[in-house]
A and B are shown apart, each in its own frame.
Chain A
Amino acid sequence: MSQLAIILARVGQAIPTLLGIVVVTFLLTRALPGDPAAYFAGASATPESIAEIRAKLGLDRSLPRQFATYLKDLAAGDLGQSISTGQPVAAELLKRLPASLELTLTALLLSVAIAIPLGVLAAVYQDSWIDQLCRFVVTAGVSLPTFFTGLLLVYVFYFLLGIAPAPLGRLDILHVPPPQITGFLILDGLLARQWAVAWSAARQLALPSITLALFTLAPLARMTRAAMLQALASEYLRTARAAGLSRGRVLMVYAFRNALLPVITTLGMVFSFSLGANVLVEKVFAWPGIGSFALEALVVSDYAAVQGFVLSMAVLFVLLNLTVDIVYTLVDPRVKIDG
C-alpha cells in the first residue's frame, strides 16, 4: 500500500469510533437526572407549560427520533443551548477552547522537552544517578494527584516565595487582553507588541502548565527509557557499533530514532490523561477553559453543555490519535496498519 492509501484507511477507521462516541454521549445525557424542561420553565411553572417546553425541546419524542434530530443538529454544528449562559454550547466551547489548548499544549511541550532527554540519558547511563532520578520522577509522577501538585506549587511559589502570580485565570486583572488572533494570550500579546501583557500571560501560565507537565512526564519518561533500552540491546545497534560508527551517531541516529516510535504512540495516551487532568488543573488555577465551563455546567445539570463538552473532548482526542498515527506512518516506513 502506498502511504496515502494507509493514511486514508486510518482515517476511515476513525469513522466508526466517532459514531460510537456520538451514540454514547447521546445516551449519557438522556439519562441525566434533572428534567431540563422543568428547569427551563422555572419555579412557577405549571404542568402544561413544562409539557409545552418539553415538546419544544423535542424531549417528548421517541429516543430514535431524538437521536436523528441530534445527528442533524450535530451535522450543522449545533450542540444545543447552554441553560446557564443562554448561549449556544458550540460558541461557548469555542470561546474557551484556546485557553485549554494553550494550557495543554504548553504542558505537553514542556513534558516532552524534559521526559525524552531524561529517559534517553537514564537508558544510556543505566543505573547511574540519572537513572535513579528518572525512576524517582516516574514513580512520584504517577502517584501525585494533579490537583494536589497544583496546590503545592501555588503554596510554595505564590504564598511562600511570592514569585508566581495569584492562581486566578489567564491574565492579571491590570491588563487588558490583546486583540484575539490565535486565542493564545502569549502569542497574541507578542503579535500585538504588548510585551507586558505577554509576560503577564506567561507568568499566569507557568504554574498550571508545570502542574500538568509533571503529571504527563512520568509515562513519557518511562516509555522513552524502556524503548531506548530495547534499542540499545538490539542487534542492529551492535552492528552499527561494530562498523565503527561514532558513539553520537550510534546513539542519536540508530538508537534514538527507533526508540522514538513507541514514544509517539504513548503520546496519544498521555494526551487522553492530560485532557482529563486539564479539568482538575483548570479548577485549581481558576483557568477559564472548557474544563471550568463543564464544571459550572455540571453543578446546574446543564445537560447540553455537559454533552457538548464530553463530545468535543472525545472528538479532539480521536483527531489527535489520528494525527499521531499518521505521523507514525510518515516516520516509520515499516509500518503496516492492519485492517
Chain B
Amino acid sequence: MEQTGAGTHVHSHGAKGRRGHHHTHGGGMLAIDRYAQQSRLSTVSPFVKLAFSVAVLLLCVAADSAAIGLIVSVGMLWACLVCSGAPARYVFSLMTIPVLFIVLSCLAIVFDVGRAPLGFFDIPLFGIYLSATAQSLRDALLLFFRAYGAVVCLYFLSLNTPMQEILEVLRVLRIPRLVIELMYLIYRYIFLLLDVQNRMTIAAQSRLGYADRHNAWYTFTHISGNLLASSFRRSGACFDAMEARCYDGTLRFLTRQAPFRWRHAIVCALCFLLLAAVTFVLKWKGVDLF
C-alpha cells in the first residue's frame, strides 16, 4: 500500500488515482514507471521486450496496411491490459492521449487544396477549395492506423519495462552516453517541474488565486514565472546531492535485469511470425479495410 510522506507531499495518492496520471508526486516518477515495475513481464529480459516491440512496430509501419495497423493496435492493447500491472482505466486513458495528436495530423492529409470542388466534401475558401476526396480519406485512415499501432507498441514497451532497464539496454546497444544521460535527466526533471507547479497551484488555490477568469490568468502567469526560478533552485539541490555521491557524468545503477530465456524469445518470435504471416496473406490477397 502506498503511504503519503508527512509534510513533503501536498497531494494524496488517492486523489491521484482518481484524477488520472498527470498528477505527480514529490520528486516522483511517472506512474507508468511504477506500473512497469509491477509488470507480469518483469521476469522477461528487457532485450527481448525491446526487440519484440521494435520488430512489431517496424512491421506495422512497413506493412503499409490499415488492417495490420488495426490488428497491431488491438493486439498490443490487449497485451498491455493483460501483462502490465496497470489498471485498465489507466491504460485506456494513456491510449487516448496520442489519438488527438494523430487525428490532428490526419486532418491535414484528408483535405487537399484544389481549384475545383472535386471531393465528396468541399470547403470553399477565397476562390480555392479544401476538398476531402475518397482517396485522401483513405490515405488519412491508413496513416492513422499505422501511427496508432506504432504508438501502442511503444506503450507496450514502457508499460512493461522500467526506464532504468530501457537505459541499460540502450547502453549495451552503444547509444551515445550523452543521449542516455539526457533522456534520464529530462525524464527525472520533468517530474520535479510538475511537482513544483503542482504545489504552487495548490498554494494559489488556497488563496483564491483562481476565483475568476481574470484572477486565474494573473495567477497562471505568475506561477509560470516563478516555476523557472524555483525549479532551477530545486534542480541545483538535486545535482548537489548527486555530486555528493560521486556522480561524474555517467548514471550508474545496480539493476536486477531478468536473464535472457529462450522460452520468452521463442514466444515473442512466434507472435511476430504469426503477425508477419497474416501481413503476408493480406498483402498477397490485396485485402485491406477499405
User: Do A and B interact?
Assistant: no
Binding site for B on A (CB under 8 A): none
